Every structure is written in structure tokens, then in C-alpha cells.
Amino acid sequence: MDTSYENVRNRLRDQRILLVGGAGFIGHNLALELRSVGADVMVVDNLMVNSLIENVYDGGQNPVQNRAYRNFLLDRFELLRGAGVALRNADARILGDLNRVFDEYQPTKAVHLAAISSAVDARLNPGLCFDLQLITLRNVLELCRTSHRQQVNQVMLLSSSTVYGDFEGDTVDEATRPRPRGIYANAKYMAERLLRTYSHQEGLGISIVRPSALYGERCKSRRVSQVFIENALTGKPLRLEGGGSGRLDFTYIADLVDGIARALAFHRGPKTSDTFNITFGNARTVAELAAVVKDVVHDANVVEAPRAEGKPVRGTLSTVRAERELGFKAKWPLEVGYRKYCEWYAEQWQRAKVDALANR
Ligand SMILES: NC(=O)c1ccc[n+]([C@@H]2O[C@H](COP(=O)([O-])OP(=O)(O)OC[C@H]3O[C@@H](n4cnc5c(N)ncnc54)[C@H](O)[C@@H]3O)[C@@H](O)[C@H]2O)c1
């Protein structure tokens, strides 16, 4: 198969792609990528997680941080509008509301992104984690199985590297047996099983994507990659638990959306099913992450801290399958992608300081 990006363009040009939970970090970046290759895109989101509502209304204690996050969120909407992405405010847990969006848009592909996207937050609210991941997915699958069966050729699920659980070796691939731990990872695994069941039983075309440890512009999920650069800019310590020896397959958002666009373009249609790790494909230590921050913010204060009990043991997600079948090749190693992100973050922090001072 011709897996050039030109062919991604050819294959997606006629597609109408609905992103459920698409106003979030991955969703809005994906929407922009899909528009750039000529696809028609609609986002449906109830703006419930990591949203303007909590950020603007509740505010938070730190005015600069508040401005910065507000800017990230408002910029998402500006970018989406500027790129011609349609946005509908609806709750995907409610079948009737989602049905109205499906009826209006008549998507040919649906990408499911809705979730409490942090395993830590999901643990605090397991019932909501279940509903946002699984009730929303059930509704998407039911609509694709029944009233919209004729036009939908693919349903994609954003799963997670956490389905693998604690890594036994250095690297996992898609054939490694999942051993999820905790509500977030188990709900992802259940979602994968649900998707495969609809594929086997109902003939839906499905794809599962497993990303890992993402970082990138306009994320406000406060994972370690964001916390480190923000702490460096505000004089707070960067804590290296257990000496920073924990390893994660850190992935820049540009690599993920490139891989997802390929998985959407080269899918083989109804009745077919595929699963891809889409990551950088080489785990790096948290200490290496901190070193990049230190390179950008020279006086960053890096401190050693005891290793936290129960931290998952992770490593590399092999991307060999995505390379072979989709022509995917990650382009952004930590020293390039994370550095670019840290520089962007520093500029954004400066912008937020000016905004906060002017009380804009
Ligand atoms: N960011 C990562 O590092 C990462 C890694 C692996 C997997 N994932 C998965 O990718 C997906 C997207 O992650 P993200 O980082 O963009 O998260 P995010 O929190 O930025 O986006 C999730 C979006 O889903 C929306 N949503 C939640 N419930 C909804 C509902 N009932 N109806 C409509 N919209 C709803 C939220 O409002 C939010 O905009 C999630 O499923 C997450 O678990 C993320």
C-alpha cells in the first residue's frame, strides 16, 4: 500500500469525521491535523473535563496560571473556528443528544476521545470514569450499529498504554497480553473489548490506538511534562522521585496526530479491526525530561525525592506495526519535541503574566 502522506490526504479528503470529546487536548490537535489534510471535521464535547467552566468560574489561586490555562482553552476554540471545524456542545452519555449530532452530521468515521483522561483523577471518581469512557462509547457504537450503519466505515477508540499494566520487560507490542490495573486502565480495556465485540458481532470497522505520556501545546492535564516546565518557570522544585529513573514513552502530540491520521486513512473499512501503539517508540527517564527543562530554564531547581509506592512500571511501546502497516515514523525525540514545547510554554507564561497584570 502507498502509505505516503499524500495518500493520507487522498483517502481522507471525502471523509466526515466526528470527534467525540474532541475539544480536549488530543481532540483539538487532531481536528486541526485532519482539516489540514482536507477532511471535514465536527467536534462534539460537553466541555466537562479540563474546561473553561472550571477554569474561568472557579478561577484558582494563581492569577498567572489561571490566565495561562484560560488562554490555552480559548486558543483551542479560536484555532478550531479558524480551521473550519464545526463544534457541538452535547453530552455523549445521553443517547438522544448524540443521536441528534449524528443525524445532523452524518459522519463516515467516529473517533471516541471522551474520558476522565487522568488515571489519578479517575481513581477519585470511579463511577464517573466508567460513565465518561464506557456509557459514551456504548452510545457511539449503538448509533453506528443501528441508524448510522450505512455511512460509518470506522469507529476509532483512543485507548491507553495503561492497558498493558506493569511492564514485565523493556518493551511491549500489540500482542503483549494486557494486564490493566486500576479503574482508568480497566475501563480502557473494557472499552477495547466492547469495540472488538461490536466488530465481531455487528461487522463494524474498528481501530484501537494506544498512545502514551503525551505532551504538547495547549495541554492542561498537568502530567509530569507540564508540571516540570511550569515549576521551573515559577521557581518550584522539579521532584525526581527515585532519582528520576522511572521511564515513560514520552510522545509529542504532532507524532500522535500524524499516526492517528494514518490509522484513519489506511483502515480497511467495515468488518475489519486493528490495534496500534502510536508513541515515540523509545522510553526515556524522568531525569532526562528534567534535563531538557534545565536546558531551557537554566536555574530550574531539580531535587531528588523518595520513590512513590505503587508507581506503575512502564517502558517502550513498540511502534513496529504502525511503521509497517501505516508508514508511521515518529519524528520528535524528547530533545527536539519537548524542548520546543518548553520554549512555547515559557512564551505562554510571559503572555499570561502580561494579561494578568493588565487584568485582561
Ligand atoms: N493525553 C494523554 O497522554 C493520553 C494518553 C493515553 C490515552 N489518552 C486518552 O485519549 C483521550 C483524550 O485525551 P485528552 O488528553 O485529549 O483528554 P482531555 O481531558 O483533554 O479531553 C477529553 C475531552 O472529553 C470531553 N468529554 C468528557 N466527557 C464527555 C461527554 N460525556 N460528552 C462529551 N464530551 C465529553 C471533555 O470535556 C474533554 O474535552 C482520552 O480518552 C484519554 O484517556 C490520553
Q: Which CATH architecture has domain 5-357?
A: 3-Layer(aba) Sandwich (3.40)
CB-based contact 187:130 (threshold 8 Å): yes
Q: What does the alpha-carbon distance between residue 311 and residue 242 come to, in Å, rounded to a whole number?
A: 10
| pLDDT of 137 above 70 | yes
| Distance from residue 210's CA to the centre of ligand 1 (Å) | 13
Q: Is 345 left (phi over 0), alpha (psi -120 to 50) or beta?
A: alpha
For the ranges 100-114, 265-279, 281-295, 296-310, which has the lowest average pLDDT? 296-310
What pLDDT, on the 0 to 100 scale, is given for residue 61? 76
pLDDT for position 248? 96
Does the structure show a pLDDT above 80 at 80?
yes
Pocket of ligand 1 contains residue 225 by CB under 6 Å: no
The confidence score (pLDDT) of residue 57 equals 75
- 216: Cβ below 6 Å to ligand 1? no
Give the distance, in angstroms, between the CA of residue 264 and the centroid of all CA atoms in the same chain. 15
Mean pLDDT of the residues in the chain: 95
The confidence score (pLDDT) of residue 215 equals: 98
- The one-letter amino acid code at 234 reads T
Phi, psi of 273 (to 5 degrees): -140, 135
Beta bridge partners of 111: 19, 156
User: What is the model's pTM?
Assistant: 0.97
Q: What pLDDT score was predicted for residue 279?
A: 98
* DSSP character string of 203-248: ---EEEEE--SEE-TT--S--HHHHHHHHHHTT--EEEEGGGT-EE
Q: List the chain domain ranges.
A: 5-357
Confidence of residue 357 (pLDDT cuts 50, 70, 90): confident
Nearest atom within ligand 1 for CA of residue 162: 6
Predicted confidence (pLDDT) at residue 334 exceeds the cutoff of 70: yes
Tell the residue nearest (CA) to atom 6 of ligand 1: 160
pLDDT at res. 18 = 98
Buried b (16+ CB within 10 A) or exposed e, 159-184: bbbbbbbebeeebbebebebebebbb
Closest CA to 225 of 208, 235, 243, 212: 212
For the CA of 118, the nearest atom of ligand 1:
43
* 359 Cα–ligand 1 center, Å: 30
| Rounded average pLDDT over 201-208 | 97
Ligand 1 centre and the CA of 26: distance in Å?
A: 7
Is the model's pLDDT at 176 over the cut of 90?
yes
Amino acid type, 93: R
Q: What is the pLDDT of residue 17?
A: 98
Instruction: Check whether 158 has a pLDDT greater than 80.
Output: yes
- Per-residue pLDDT, averaged over 190-202, amounts to 97
**Centroid of ligand 1 to alpha carbon of 117 (angstroms):** 5
